[in-house]
């Protein structure tokens, strides 16, 4: 039986364009948890909101751009 790739969780690698930090093979649904520690020194509400927006597929790309993150689909 052939597995539908749409049923599989999306995995991405995330790179911080400013600090050089990276996390590889992160489930897209867990991006916020993966990058939150990178921004722990920032108390700005817009940054906190952008981190939470990473959880929503429709807002993920704009949130990543705002935070200076590059999302790369993992193979």
The whole-model pTM stands at 0.83
**Cα–Cα distance for residue pair 6/21, rounded to 1 Å:** 29
The residue to which tokens 């751009």 are assigned: 65
**Number of CB atoms found within 10 A of residue 20's CB:** 7
**Cα–Cα distance for residue pair 11/45, rounded to 1 Å:** 27
Low-confidence ranges of the chain (pLDDT < 50): 1-6
Q: What is the pLDDT of residue 4?
A: 42
Q: What is the pLDDT of residue 74?
A: 86
- Residues constituting the chain: 75
């Amino acid at each position: 039986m052939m597995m539908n790739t749409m049923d599989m969780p999306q995995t991405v690698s995330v790179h911080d364009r400013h600090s050089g930090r990276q996390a590889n093979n992160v489930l897209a649904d867990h991006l916020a948890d993966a990058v939150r520690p990178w921004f722990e020194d920032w108390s700005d509400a817009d940054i906190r909101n952008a981190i939470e927006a990473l959880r929503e597929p429709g807002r993920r790309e704009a949130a990543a751009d705002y935070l200076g993150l590059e999302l790369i689909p993992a193979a």
